Amino acid sequence: MKYVDEFRDAEIARAVSAEIAAITDPQRHYKLMEVCGGHTHTIYRHGIKDLLPDQIELVHGPGCPVCVLPMGRVDEGIEIAERPEVIFTCFGDMMRVPGSRGNLLEVKAEGADIRMVYSPLDALRIARENQDREVVFYAIGFETTAPSTALTLQRAKKEGIENFSVFCNHVTIVPPVRALLDSPDLRLDAFIGPGHVSTVIGCRPYEFMPVDYGKPCVVAGFEPLDLLQSILMLMHQLDEGRCEVENQYGRVV
């Protein structure tokens, strides 16, 4: 598959791994954070850590919108779902997220009308089909999922569907990264920027990392060679004393 298979070439991966090892200072410990959960998945699925020198540590960042959702917002969602007039819709990964008194799956078992959907447009369809009920969509996600929520709200307004609403829990990537950089307990050398988010917002929002904090950032794709190349680019920046935002994921961003 074009743009996939060539980024999974084992021989090239070993060559990039050797380049990374060649510029790694054996007396130094490097801490690189991959912000996106998709990158973490690639790292474990393809054994990226095994291709890196021991001096390079990959730190997992706040890249999962489900994981960073405050418990209070889960509790509020459960309260809405328990209302008898409500059909509560959400993505499947939210069903088991615990609040202070259980999760949505348990509330559903107790009789609440909670339905799993694959997109907010599915929730809007349910609202069309159940005009005597209030249909609420539990919106979560970073900048990548916010546009689909906005599009659905626009369509609901255009069609005059008044029994549809959104419990909005969208988050943006910059504030949590800035909070990490402000933390005195977490010392990081550089960041692997999220490729999917960057298809929506571009690379410019990450300029605060080198400008305000002196930390390099490379926006990366999600195949094994994407990760290895982005790490190589970061290592070159650190080796050369440079500090800037670079884009490895040029075929998309």
Domain segments of the chain as ranges? 5-63+173-247, 71-170
Query: What is residue 4's predicted lDDT score, i.e. its pLDDT?
Result: 64
At 86, the pLDDT band (50, 70, 90 cuts) reads very high
Inform me whether the pLDDT recorded for 63 exceeds 80.
no
Indicate whether 198 pLDDT > 60: yes
CA–CA distance, 203 with 206 (Å, rounded to integer)? 6
Answer yes or no: is pLDDT of 3 > 70. Answer: no
Check pLDDT > 80 for residue 88.
yes
Which of the four pLDDT bands, split at 50, 70 and 90, describes residue 210? Answer: very high
**What value does the mean pLDDT take over residues 46-63?**
93
Calculate mean pLDDT across residues 50-71.
89
The pLDDT of residue 37 is 86
The pLDDT of residue 66 is 77
Judged against a pLDDT cut of 90, whether residue 248 lies above it is answered with yes
Per-residue pLDDT tens over the stretch 140-197: 999 999 999 999 999 999 999 999 999 999 999 999 899 999 998 889 999 999 999 9
User: What is the token pair recorded at 232?
Assistant: 């190589």
The overall average pLDDT reported for the chain is 94
Percent of the chain with pLDDT over 70: 98
Give residue 2's pLDDT. 61
5-63+173-247 and 71-170 have identical folds: yes
Write down the pLDDT at residue 7. Answer: 79
Specify the 3-state DSSP secondary structure of 219. strand
Q: 65 falls in which pLDDT band (50, 70, 90)?
A: confident
**pLDDT for position 74:** 96
Instruction: Look at residue 186 in the predicted model and tell me its pLDDT.
Output: 84
Architecture of 71-170 per CATH? 3-Layer(aba) Sandwich (3.40)
CA dihedral 158, 164, 165, 170 (to 10 degrees): -70
**H or E element, residue 114:** strand 114-116
Return the pLDDT at 5: 67
CATH number for the segment(s) 5-63+173-247: 3.40.50.11750
% of the chain residues with pLDDT over 90 = 86
The predicted structure's pLDDT at residue 168: 97
- The residue among 63, 66, 71, 61 whose CA lies nearest residue 91 is 66
Alpha-carbon distance values, 37 to 67, 136, 164, 170, 217 (Å): 10, 27, 30, 16, 16
Q: Which segment of 63-77, 142-156, 212-226 scores lowest on mean pLDDT?
A: 63-77
